Structure 1
Amino acid sequence: MDVASVLRMNGGTGDASYANNSLLQQKVLSRTKPIRDEAIRSFYKEKLPKSLAIADLGCSSGPNTLFMTCELIETVEMLCRELSHESLEYIIFLNDLPGNDFNNIFKTLDCFKQKLSSHVLGGGIGQCYITGLPASFYGRILPDNSLHFVHSSYGLHWISQVPKGVENNKGNICMGRTSPYNVHKAYYNQFQRDFSLFLKCRARELVEGGRMVLTLQGRRSNAPSSNVCCYAWELLAQALNGMVLEGIIKEDQIDSFNIPMYHPSPSELELEIEKEGSFTLNHLEVFEVSLKAACGEDKLDINNSDGYKVAQLVRAVAEPLLVSHFGEAIIDEVFHRYQHVLADRMSKEKPILLNFAISLTKTTT
């Protein structure tokens, strides 16, 4: 699988688009706003820059991208007014893989800038320049010392490639609770390489004292069996395996399909940050979000539409990967079955996603 060419969220604004199925991600962004605010305010007070360069890595498309950007600018502008400072100029870099629906973002930029000028504390802010950066963040994307603030939400649990040597991961499509030891080890090794490279690249691109806030899914302990974040993916594997039993999908097709995703533990994250050595870890917060957040409801009602809503959330994320491997013809059937698998399991359980929010400061040059 060439991850860089097939890993993307569903574009556009259709029923299965990421733009219309990313409420859970929006709730995570809202939950982590205090951490971003504290980081950006601390940087401004320390450096007093005349302009602010911000990169959103793994920005995807839809309303969440510019929602976060608007909040950051609002926070800085409020601080400028508190300190009786002039407004700043803003340079915003929106990064994702080349297959991302950047056009969907660009179409909303005029509206975004108008809203920014009129809504952010009554206007009067400096210029805001926005550009797209289609590239993997597991590599350099900007010049040395060109960024002040880096943000990434729900991007870093995606690794750069499916690890080698996971051919015996039968019945699974990711690092699941029943995966063999060598599969867990291969996924962990790939995460170590990728996250270390991510830190090295950002250390070059950030100015000294620059801040970075990262949010990703994870698990509480190093034990693979605690990987609660694979819940939705294991149920998707169940739907696919059912189609194998009925002869709709060939067994070797599912045996050769694995998702490039790893959910680290807090100690695994801290170890890589310490080993790389360029950043001080200011804060690591662990918090849970229920899958019901994807439905916008206080309570899941599986007998109605909420099983469908959760299935649509996963479809918006997974469909391009599935199409690249299995073809488009089976997709509707996969998610029809998946909806029923979800309805059955979620009527008996209360699944949660475990999340980590990390605040870092670059301390070395």
Structure 2
Amino acid sequence: MDTSKVLHMNGGLGNNSYARNSSIQKNVISMTKLMIEEAVMNLCSQTTHATLVVADLGCSSGPNTLYTVTEIVRAVENLCKVTGHRPPEYQVFLNDLPGNDFNTLFRMLPDFQEKYPKSEERPRCFFSGVPGSFYGRLFPCNSLHFVHSACSLHWLSKVPKHIENNERNICTARTSPPNVLEAYHEQFHEDFTMFLDCRAAEIVSGGSMVLTIAGRRSNDQYSNGCCYVWELLAMALQEMVSEGLIEEKKLFDFNVPGYTPTLEEVKSKIENQGSFSISNLVVLEVNWGAYDSKINSGVSSEGEGGINVVKCVRAAVEQILLHHFGDGIVEGCFDRYKKLFVDRVSKEEKVFTDVCVSLIRK
């Protein structure tokens, strides 16, 4: 699987789109609002910028991207009011893989301007789309002031090599052999180090970066919600194999390019790479069991949380499933997945873990 060509969230604004099924990710971004504000204020208090260059990496195509940009701009504008400095212009780069639905994202830009009353001078924001993998260079040297990435760096650049013995699992799981766990860890180490190397070249000295990564608290690689998200999806696919709807070899050959690191792993990789100092590093827990009547109705709040997660997972991985298995299995797979997940809701702690870090370029 060429991840750079296959991996992208469901586009558009339909029922299964990422734009309509990313409330969990928005909750994550909301929880990092203060960290983003602190990073931006520290950046702008050191020196004034005629143009502040911002990049959102792994932006996808929903409203979360513009929510993040709004918070960044608001923090700068508020600081300028306090200091009396003239607000900068903003060059905002929106990055994701080439398959991302940039058209839907760009159609949302006029709404961004409407967030500011016409009676006020609106910030001058200039947007550009940048297709490409953030595991490579995307921008010229010393060109960025602030980089943000949320809920993206748990996606690896590729499925690790030599994990053929993972068999019925589709990621790290309780039954994964030790070599599989090590292969996923090594791939994360390689990818995250490359990410830091590239950003070190692109961010100016004193520039800031805030990253939020789906992670875990324990060193046990299958210890948190993200793991059983994949385990239950594997179970749904296994049911379809037993019913003759999917070839067993097809399932054996399928693995998800995802890894959830611990806070200690993230810290270690940053310190070893050496280009950034850590100004803040925390673990967040995001409750996914909350009821949201705007999305679904007619089910209990507990079941609602599970259904919301299923919709979120489908928006994120449907394209990978389509590429590997074809379009004939998607509805049946997620019907089974929903039943398995809602059943699990009452038996598991309803949280996902995220590692959030604020960095300063040395």
Measured after TM superposition, the shift of residue 315 of structure 1 is 0.5
**Which among 177, 181, 191 is matched to residue 174 of structure 2?**
177
Which residue in the other structure is 2:320 paired with?
321
Q: Structure 1 residue 302: deviation in Å?
A: 6.7
Q: Residue 36 of structure 1 aligns with which residue? A: 36
Give the corresponding residue for 1:201: 198
TM superposition shift of 1:17: 0.3
Query: Which ranges of structure 2 fall in alignment gaps of 5 or more residues?
Result: none
CA contact (8 A) 1:7 1:99 kept: yes
Moved over 6 A (4+): none
| Partner Cα separation in structure 2 for residue 243 and residue 156 of structure 1 | 30
How do 1:13-32 and structure 2 match up within 5 A? Answer: 13-32=13-32
SS of aligned partner of 1:224: coil
In the aligned structure 2, how far is the partner of 1:317 from the partner of 1:224? Answer: 21
List per-residue Cα deviations over 1:35-58 (Å, max 9, x = no partner): 000000000001222221000000
Contact 1:23/1:295 (8 A) holds in 2: no
Q: Is the 8 A contact 1:23 1:296 kept in 2?
A: no
C-alpha distance in structure 1 between counterparts of 2:128 and 2:240, whole Å? 43
For the residues of structure 2 that align with 1:278 and 1:348, how far apart are their CA atoms?
43
Is 1:277 aligned to 2:270, yes or no? no
Q: Which residue of 2 aligns with 1:92?
A: 92
Task: Name the counterpart of 2:232.
Answer: 235
Which residue in 1 is equivalent to 2:335? 336
CA–CA distance in structure 2, aligned partners of residues 79 and 127 of structure 1: 16
Q: How does 1:282-361 map to 2 (within 5 A)?
A: 282-293=279-290, 295=292, 301=300, 305-361=304-360
Gaps of 5+ in 1: none
| % identical aligned pairs | 48
Verify: 1:161 aligned to 2:161, yes or no.
no
Deviation at 1:178, TM superposition (A): 2.1
1:3 maps to which residue?
3
Q: Which residue type is aligned with residue 189 of structure 2?
A: Q
Contact in 2 for aligned 1:88/1:125 (Cα 8 Å): no
Matches within 5 A, 1:28-107: 28-107=28-107
* Secondary structure, counterpart of 1:55 in structure 2: strand
Partners of 1:347 and 1:217 in 2: how far apart?
22
CA contact (8 A) 1:24 1:294 kept: no
Distance 1:296 1:286 in 2: 28
1:50-93 Cα offsets, whole Å, 9 max, x none, are 22100000000111111110111011001100111111100000
- Secondary structure at the aligned position of 1:176 is classed as coil
Q: How far is the alpha carbon of 1:125 from its aligned partner?
A: 4.1
Is 2:126 the counterpart of 1:129?
yes
Aligned to 1:252: 249
Q: Distance in 1 between matches of 2:5 and 2:74?
A: 35
Aligned to 1:267: 264
Q: In the aligned structure 1, how far is the partner of 2:159 from the partner of 2:198?
A: 21
SS of the residue 1:163 aligns to: coil
Distance 1:283 1:159 in 2: 24
Q: Distance in 2 between matches of 1:173 and 1:343?
A: 20
RMSD: 1.7
Q: How many Å apart are 1:305 and its aligned residue?
A: 4.8
Q: Which residue of 1 aligns with 2:211?
A: 214
1:223 aligns with 2:220: yes
Kept in 2, the 8 Å contact 1:294–1:313? The answer is no
Q: Which amino acid in structure 2 is aligned with residue 263 of structure 1?
A: T
Could you report, residue by residue, the CA deviation over 1:91-143 in whole angstroms, capped at 9, with x for unpaired residues? 00000000000000111212322434x27xx6324421000000000000000
Give the Cα separation in 2 of the matches to 1:113 and 1:130. 12
SS at match of 1:182: helix
Q: CA deviation at 1:304?
A: 6.0
Residue range with higher mean Cα deviation, 193-202 or 216-225: 216-225
Which residues of 2 match residues 185-196 of structure 1 at below 5 A?
A: 185-196=182-193
SS at match of 1:168: helix
2:28 counterpart SS class? helix
Length-normalised TM-score, structure 2: 0.95
Using structure 1 for the length normalisation, give the TM-score. Answer: 0.94
The answer (yes or no) to whether the contact 2:113–2:122 under 8 Å persists in 1 is no
